[in-house]
Chains A and B, each alone.
Chain A
Amino acid sequence: MKISTLLYNFKQGLKNIWRNKMFSLASVATMAACIFLFGIFYSIGVNFEDMVKEAEEGVAVTVFFNSDATDEQIAAVGEQIKSRSEVAKYNFVSSEEAWDQYKDIYFQGNEEAAASFEGDNPLAGHENYEIYLADVSKQDELVSFLEGLDGVREVKHSEVAANTLSDFNKLLTLISGFVVAILISVAVFLISNTVTVGISIRKEEIAIMKLIGAKDSFVRAPFIVEGVIIGLVGSAIPLIALWFLYGGIVRYVADKFEFLSDMVSFVSVKDVFHVLVPVSLALGVGIGYLGSRFTLRKHLKV
């Protein structure tokens, strides 16, 4: 398509929007509501995911060894742990380090009592691997794997914490997906209605175009432009609103609820919008494009 034709179709698309202002406005408003809700769900989701991730990092699996386990066996277990994809990081804690940690925690301020164990490590044979998970839902799988390795005496883990976090994460993803799917359907339906009205208003013009020899793409283009512009405006408005709203809420919580901000840390506005802006714009434009394309196929036998 020539540049002059593109410009012409762009102008016609704008004219379409202006001609049925009320429907266009309703579509922009619905699209804006959809993207706004999507943005809210996304912001909550991304913050929750961040909290879950932080909590997950605190969930550790500890592997203890038989008293007769050789250094080679312990090193081999270490290699096996390293090869697992669900493992974020792992540390080897020797029995001396384990005793030092224990002393730091339980003999703080009572160093004399600890000194009485001098030369005699009560945690001898307690060398272990501390494993931190990247994906807490795979904890059970990892535990069974570790229990089957040579030299392993015991694998300690917190099943409840892992399962709860993993289930909650799944539930949140499911709910968000469901709500977003409904919103997208509503937006597609409304844009489709707007384009249908546009087609009925321009019925005569379309008939003339076809008789004169307009290509299908030429007839369709203004309606596609209309849908895409509605999608674009409908996603840009809530993004601006969310930018101020999210920043405002984060600042408000930090100011007014200090105890809460000590417990949880919010994802920064920039980090949230780094993903939210392209995804929302793509959603808006995509819904606008698909909504008009779908309607054109149905109502415009070009």
Chain B
Amino acid sequence: MIRLENVSKSYQAGVPALNDVNLEISPGEFVFVVGASGSGKSTLIKLLLAELRPTKGKIIINGKDLKSIKHKMIPKFRRNIGVVFQDFRLLADRNVYENVAFAMKVVEASNKEIKRKVPMMLSMVGLAAKYRSLPKQLSGGEQQRVAIARALVNEPKILLADEPTGNLDNKNAWEIMKLLDEINQRGTTVVVVTHNMEIVKAMNKRVITIKKGVVISDEEGEEA
């Protein structure tokens, strides 16, 4: 569960990037966060990943208060959150299998476990046949699938996707959205930050709109 209580975040002495935000996202929800550039979406993602600490207010994720979380506890906390970026952030010198396995190496999983889970994840995102390809040999959509497999391989409870379709054509963008929906159906909480309103409308999910650091609307999808 994700809960933000009166959260504000200011960078030095400027206009707050987020101002008095109150939010609650239940386990298993699929939520879109939308807003123009500079509205505070990226700040929200960074706060949820404990990359930043709020200037004011409380952020509680999976029962942990991020304002008081100790530095050495952050890695453990992040293992429960998968993250996907617009620019995929894959390691260019490693193939598909190694990119996904890397996430498990980082959390010190055993080789046996890695060999068991990575092919499973690659099958789930439809890339089992391309496990030896380097990122540059894949399309944008395929690269984003690898990134999703990497984000999910450690079985996080929450998946944060920051503009996951930003670099993709319409067809690939839809495929990625379908994949995220499938992941959500399996029980993972999915939070997608985007400004692709066409997709947001078509998906019919809960939509939180941020403008100049303030939540101006929070609408449930018809599906909910």
Contacts and interface: CB of A to CB of B under 8 A. Distances in A.
Interface of A: 1-2, 4-5, 8, 204-205, 207-216, 218
B83 A5 contact: no
A8 B105 contact: yes
Given A204-B91, A205-B91, A214 B110 contact: no
Interface stretch (B10-18, B72-80, B122-130, B184-192): B72-80
A213 B72 contact: no
Interface residues of B, number: 21
Given A5-B105, A208-B91, A215 B110 contact: no
Contacts of B72: 215-216
Contacts of A218: 106, 108
B83 A4 contact: no
Contacts of A209: 106
A213 B49 contact: no
9 tightest A-B CB contacts, nearest first: A213-B79, A213-B78, A214-B106, A213-B75, A215-B75, A5-B108, A212-B106, A212-B103, A209-B106
Contact of A4 (B75, B111, B150): B111
B91 A211 contact: no
Given A204-B89, A204-B91, A205-B91, A213 B106 contact: yes
Nearest to B71: A216
Interface in B79-125: 79, 83, 89, 91, 102-103, 105-108, 110-111
B154 interface: yes
Nearest to A19: B93
A211 B78 contact: yes
Interface string B35-79: 000000000000001010000000000000000000010011111
Given A204-B89, A204-B91, A212 B110 contact: no
A117 B67 CA distance: 103
A215 B49 CA distance: 15
Contacts of B49: 211
B167 to A, nearest CB: 16
Contacts of B154: 212-213
Nearest to A218: B106
Nearest to B106: A214
Contacts of A8: 105
A215 B110 CA distance: 16
B80 to A, nearest CB: 8
Contacts of A2: 108, 110
A212 B89 CA distance: 12
A209 to B, nearest CB: 5
B75 A214 contact: yes
Contacts of B51: 211
Contacts of A1: 108
A39 B168 CA distance: 61
Contacts of A4: 108, 110-111
Nearest to A215: B75
A37 to B, nearest CB: 38
Contacts of B107: 212-214
Contacts of B79: 212-213
Nearest to A211: B83
Contact of A213 (B76, B89, B91): B76
Contacts of B83: 211-212
29 contacts: A1-B108, A2-B108, A2-B110, A4-B108, A4-B110, A4-B111, A8-B105, A204-B91, A207-B89, A208-B91, A211-B49, A211-B51, A211-B83, A212-B78, A212-B103, A212-B106, A212-B150, A212-B154, A213-B75, A213-B76, A213-B78, A213-B79, A213-B107, A214-B75, A214-B106, A214-B107, A215-B72, A218-B106, A218-B108
